[in-house]
């Protein structure tokens, strides 16, 4: 049985995907914010949630549903504004933590961090459009199993993102652990996290389809 993807094409795709993973963006900033806010387990869980959301986008693109988002601006905008609202809610939650005693303001559980990462990724419709623009360059319809090819390329992209975003989040969590022993710095971390989420909300609000 023929492997869906030509190994040489996969070797070409991998460094291109890694270059994209290493480019600072919303996913990296989100993982950094979760690392600062909730520690290493939440940072890794957030990166895993982002990867899971990305695989949903890849699956939808492979099924051709991305064309619906591309063709109907109303769908694009509805998803985008839901994402803006969710990110602002996360920013408010971080601000709320700055008003609580450290013992009364626990970080997110890994499950909640995973959920937040997945939802933030899924609420960015630009990702599915990017997926439609990037991955098809490496897909060979002559080999058949187009969806399988999308999933393989998406898995490579997602694995790289998981590694890079986890590393960023873990680095941030180390800084957070050192600073959080001070109530003053704990409040500062809450403000930084709120600022990260608010900046991501602004970035998504200003996002244009084209």
pLDDT tens digits for 13-34? 888 888 878 877 778 888 888 8
Measured CA distances, 72 to 67, 79, 125, 204 (Å): 8, 12, 12, 18
How far apart (Å, rounded) are the C-alpha atoms in residues 147 and 58? 9
Nearest Cα to Cα of residue 210 among 87, 28, 76: 76
CB 57 within 8 A of CB 174: no
Nearest Cα to Cα of residue 198 among 78, 48, 95: 95
140 CB-contact burial (10 Å; exposed 0-12 / middle 13-18 / buried 19+): middle
How far apart (Å, rounded) are the C-alpha atoms in residues 15 and 32? 23
Q: What is the pLDDT of residues 183-203, one digit of tens each?
A: 665 566 667 767 877 877 787
> What pLDDT was estimated at residue 145?
79
């Amino acid at each position: 049985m023929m492997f869906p993807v030509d190994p040489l094409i996969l070797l070409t795709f991998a460094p291109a995907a890694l270059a994209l993973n290493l480019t600072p963006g919303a996913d990296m900033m989100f993982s950094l914010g979760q690392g600062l806010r909730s520690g290493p387990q939440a940072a890794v869980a957030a990166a895993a949630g982002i990867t899971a959301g990305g695989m949903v986008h890849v699956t939808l693109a492979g099924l051709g549903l991305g064309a619906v988002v591309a063709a109907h601006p109303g769908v694009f905008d509805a998803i985008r504004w839901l994402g803006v609202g969710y990110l602002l809610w996360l920013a408010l939650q971080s601000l709320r933590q700055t008003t609580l005693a450290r013992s009364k303001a626990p970080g997110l559980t890994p499950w909640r961090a995973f959920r937040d990462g997945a939802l933030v990724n899924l609420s960015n419709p630009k990702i599915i459009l990017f997926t439609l623009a990037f991955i098809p360059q490496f897909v060979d319809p002559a080999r058949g199993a187009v969806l399988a090819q999308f999933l393989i390329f998406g898995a490579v992209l997602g694995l790289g993102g998981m590694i890079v975003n986890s590393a960023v989040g873990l680095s941030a969590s180390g800084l957070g652990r050192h600073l959080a022993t001070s109530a003053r710095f704990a409040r500062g971390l809450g403000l930084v996290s709120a600022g990260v989420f608010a900046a991501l909300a602004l970035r998504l609000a200003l996002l244009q389809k084209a």
